[in-house]
Amino acid sequence: MKTATELVFLISFCALTGNGGTIDDVSTSVVFLRDTKPITEQANGISYEVCLRDPRDGSIQVKTRTVSGTGFVVICSNLCFLVTAKHVASEMTTNCEVIMGGTNTEPEHFTLSSLTGQANQLMWVDDPTADISVYPLPTITPEGIEALNQRAAPLGFLSPETNPPSRDIPVTALGFPLGLGAQEHFIPLSRESKVSSGILRDAQGFFFLLQDPIVSGYSGGPLITSGDPRLVYTPSGPATASGGARCVGFIIGTYADETGGKMTRIVPAFYALRLINKTRAQMNITLTH
């Protein structure tokens, strides 16, 4: 009888070949994250849950709100990681829903604990500055293996570049604005834009901006470039060279001012790449003891 820990190393996960793939291929690695949280209010420095009393029978029910975001599944050395924005991860518990695309675009619903077999162990690892988090999956249940197989993007899909793509190249954000795209048919919504800045820096680290705003729900989703459209001249004539799709960053939020101007903030993908490599190295040490 194999344990969940052993099972994770017996199957080869892969969704994209090398650094290639179309936007539809990349979409298979995108997941919708959703959880329910109690609504709280502060009184005298103490946080209280807001409750509702049914006037018919006097029963009490905690008032709740739905929190959601987008995640991206990556694999490194047969160890899967879930990547999302830190502000999304902070709202998720082990009972959060992880919704993926199934057969014929039908959504498949899981909880994080049903994928890992760890009901009471929350393992989000946060970057110390950037708004990015990863969730390592060192144990995966048979149900989780079946769900994640052929879905995870290889680690090499994350761009290590410290600079954003050219402002002449279209980029595509994938996610679930207002929860759309994760209901009857699971198809992450795509939004094409262009980079509007070079690399910038503030207290949360390096970032860059897109020309267009992003609707709530895209947070944590990948920003994809489909390749380099420059022409390469060959003896047979000009041809379009393409480096294939790459994840160049993750959507964090929208900047806005009183004039109505808005731009999207992107965390470069190298933050997730660095966090995954660091976490994997630490876990290898832990798992050998």
Give the residue carrying structure tokens 């910038």.
Answer: 200
Q: Kindly state whether residue 26 falls inside one of the protein's structural domains.
A: yes
Q: What is the pLDDT along the chain (289 residues), one digit of tens a residue?
A: 444 444 443 344 444 433 446 888 889 999 999 999 899 999 999 999 999 999 999 999 999 999 999 999 999 877 899 999 999 999 999 899 999 988 788 899 999 999 988 877 778 999 999 999 999 988 788 888 888 887 889 999 999 999 999 999 899 999 999 899 998 889 999 999 999 999 999 999 999 999 988 888 899 999 999 754 444 444 544 433 445 688 999 999 888 877 877 889 999 999 999 999 999 888 875 554 4
Query: What is each CA distance from 200 to 83, 171, 204, 206, 231, in whole angstroms?
Result: 22, 18, 10, 5, 29
pLDDT of residue 21: 64
Count the residues in the chain: 289
Cβ contacts of 197 within 8 Å, gap of 6 or more: 164, 208, 209
Q: Kindly state whether residue 50 falls inside one of the protein's structural domains.
A: no
Q: Kindly state whether residue 53 falls inside one of the protein's structural domains.
A: no
Q: Kindly state whether residue 54 falls inside one of the protein's structural domains.
A: no
Residue type, 208: F
Q: Kindly state whether residue 9 falls inside one of the protein's structural domains.
A: yes
Residue type, 284: N
> How is residue 98 written in tokens?
């992880």
Q: Kindly state whether residue 77 falls inside one of the protein's structural domains.
A: yes
pLDDT of residue 117: 86
Instruction: Name the DSSP class of 166.
Output: P
Which residues, in sequence order, are bridge partners of residue 53? Answer: 60
* CA contacts within 13 A on the Cβ side of 25: 19
The β-bridge relationship of strands 40-43 and 222-225 is unpaired
Domain ranges, residue 158: 4-36+66-287
Domain containing residue 151: CATH number = 2.40.10.10
pLDDT of residue 262: 85
- Are 30 and 188 in contact by the 8 Å Cβ rule? The answer is yes
Cβ burial 241-280 (10 Å sphere, 16+ → b, else e): eeebbbbbbbbbbbeeeeeeeebbbbbbbbbbbbbbeebb
Instruction: Name the DSSP class of 167.
Output: T
pLDDT of residue 237: 45
Rounded to two decimals, the pTM is 0.84
Q: Kindly state whether residue 98 falls inside one of the protein's structural domains.
A: yes
Distance CA 122, CA 136 (A): 10
Collapse the DSSP code of 64 into the 3-class scheme (helix H, G, I; strand E, B; otherwise coil) and give the result.
strand
Collapse the DSSP code of 256 into the 3-class scheme (helix H, G, I; strand E, B; otherwise coil) and give the result.
strand
Q: Kindly state whether residue 45 falls inside one of the protein's structural domains.
A: no
Question: What's the domain count of the chain?
Answer: 1
